[in-house]
Amino acid sequence: MSLIIRERYSLKNCNTFGVDVTARWYAEARNDAEVGAALDAARQRGAELLVIGGGSNLLLTGDQDAFVLRMASQGRHLLGEVGGRLLVEAEAGEAWHSFVLWTLEQGLAGLENLSLIPGTVGAAPMQNIGAYGVEVKDVLHSVVALDRQTGELREFAAGECDFAYRDSRFKRESGRWLILRVRFALAREAELHLGYGPVRLRLLEEGIDEPTPLDVSRVICAIRAEKLPDPQVLGNAGSFFKNPVVGAASAERLREHWPELVCYPAGAGEVKLAAGWLIERAGWKGYRDGDAGVHALQALVLVNYGRASGGQLLALARRIQADIRARFGVELEIEPVVR
């Protein structure tokens, strides 16, 4: 099937905030050939190519005078053992949570803590998604990406991806690399991570002393569903701000004023502060200005109650950033890509 290109296409259903803006051109690529055709089409039109997945880490503040390409490729495969682990490959357009559940059905462990994160497989390494003490970098084997400058394919080993907290070389060089598929090295024997957040407590409350990866996934899904709004019901992009990382001395000074400060060791003399605690402590939790607001149950989540524009949501985020800077002397960094 040849690439279908649409003009003046509404992106409302292509971003989880549900912001209604249009793309000058829009197409969906289901295989490598269609990706190549999209690159050619954008080049012929002299248009910027904007690649999106599930739109769950995206804030659109206006119409996009660009060629928007949604990665819609499907496929997941067991590739065999490498270093005592099973290598699993998934196409970039696969829904992340569905892929996680599929790996668990295969009896594989490693992705259970990342259950119910919205988005696609291709976006996961870009953002180095993480939750409950696990990041994609911990289980990623390699990434196959297209060099948009040369048209050549390149395979990046995990160590070549330059992963950092919610960051990677693919995010920093987003105009060059287009992720086509991702490979993960997963374990047949569970190596569970239960020390972060309320996961272990919830398991114990259910009388589970020796949990399986499926148990961990189920509990994490329940916890996330209780705290985070469903984008199908209330527009949002999950955590809107990164947890700021500060020096240990700065964290100690903050604790002198706010002994209840929520923070975690981040290694190398640094401390990760809970951005949600800072925002809630500043009184923003549940705040609403028109249809732009802060979720009533999770201060880290900005929400669209219906007709908020991307500009209104961004203006609210800027107000929160300024307030946190003034109160705590801490800079909050926006997590979604703002366009």
Which of 70, 85, 166, 183 is the catalytic position? 166
3-state secondary structure of 108: coil
335 belongs to the catalytic site: yes
For residue 197, which of 129, 113, 269 has the smallest C-alpha distance?
Answer: 113
Pair of tokens at residue 62 = 């206006």
Residues 6+ positions from 256 with CB-CB distance below 8 Å: none
Q: By 3-state DSSP, what share of the chain in percent is helix, strand and coil, each rounded to 5?
A: 30, 30, 40
Which of 239, 281, 309, 339 is the catalytic position? 239
Per DSSP, helices labelled H in the chain are 32-45, 96-105, 123-127, 169-172, 199-205, 213-227, 248-257, 275-281, 310-328
56 belongs to the catalytic site: no
Q: How many CA atoms lie within 13 A of 60 on its CB side?
A: 25
Q: How many helices (H) and strands (E) in the chain? A: 9, 20
Beta bridge partners of 135: 130
239 belongs to the catalytic site: yes
Positions marked active-site: 166, 239, 335
